Amino acid sequence: MKRRSLLLGTLALVFSGAVFANNPIVIKFSHVVALDTPKGKAAEHFKKLAEERTKGRVKVEVYPNSQLYKDKEELEALQLGAVQMLAPSLAKFGPLGVKEFEVFDLPYIFDNYAELHKVTQGPIGASLLAKLESKGIKGLAFWDNGFKQFSANKPLKKPEDFKGLKMRIQSSKVLDAEMRALSANPQVMAFSEVYQALQTGVVDGTENPPSNFYTQKMHEVQKHMTISDHGYLGYAVIVNKKFWDSLPGDIRPALEGAMKDATKYANDIAKSENDSDVDNIKKSGKTQVVTLTADERKALKRALTPVHKQMESRIGKELIESIYKETGFNANE
């Protein structure tokens, strides 16, 4: 009897293992940018590491370029469980009700990656990710894309150059205020629609890291890009919390390790990819790249930093000041 029970138990384990091998845990990872952007490459790197480290027990299906969902749709899809993983830009969490994430949209709040990483890789970043749990979302990591540059069909060097321009933005009250501070007209639009809008004149310009600008071929329909480094575009890698919590105990640590290494990979390539794409934009001969003088940059920063004060009641004065303290922010530099 004992041998029979043991045999049945062994057969059950073999059977369940076979079923599990034939039916791996599927993670659908959706995003809205091209495969050859920093986020696109990092998503593929995470897929590789996750599948290797779980020995095929997890299969990651990556869907780039809004193949499944556009900007406005993907967070709802995650909450409903239609996809398991996303890496939306940080501006997306304000409309979701976690307004603190809009602190990353504040113009000139970070001057460089070192200042930025003190926040995203420190206690402030961890506390922000934790705020997503009430929305049924587990935040895993921050991934860099890079610093944003303005573009239009005219040179943008001084605050007055923006007056009256229709500028595409993500859905963010901070970015809306940023454009209004420059007397421009903000136009909220899905990322997948921007190229055509620029091509047809529905909008006059936009703001993007060079990697997004180049891989989406915006350099074909914009005559000028200003190296302004006025804002940061980054992502939070998130999963459906119910799905994450239901994972087997030995799978979750393997995925956490894969995400940690994919995050280092993502952030290591972000700056080099953007620098390389500035060169590619210049080589194309289609977009003139404008480099601001020190005085021009200071004038633009002075015009934009009042947005920080304006947004205190929305984002939280204490959060903004904690970032100032962490980074040594100086509005006059």
Tens of pLDDT along 216-226? 999 999 999 99
Please report the pLDDT score of residue 7 as a whole number.
39
Q: Is the pLDDT of residue 1 over 60?
A: no
Based on its alpha-carbon atoms, the radius of gyration of the chain, rounded to whole angstroms, reads 22
Q: Tell me the three-class secondary structure of 194-234, residue by residue.
A: HHHHHHHCCCCEEEECHHHHHHCCHHHCCCEEEEEEEEEEE
Residue 33 has φ and ψ, to the nearest 5°, of -110, 175
What is the distance of C-alpha 289 from the center of its chain?
A: 24
Q: 100, 131 in Cβ contact below 8 A?
A: yes
Q: Is the pLDDT of residue 197 over 90?
A: yes
What SS3 state is found at 236?
A: strand
Write down the pTM of the prediction: 0.85
| In the chain, % of residues over pLDDT 90 | 82
**pLDDT per residue as tens digits for the range 253-270:** 999 999 999 999 999 999
Strand positions, DSSP E, 2-98: 25-30, 58-63, 85-86
Residue 171 has φ and ψ, to the nearest 5°, of -75, 100
| In the chain, % of residues over pLDDT 70 | 93
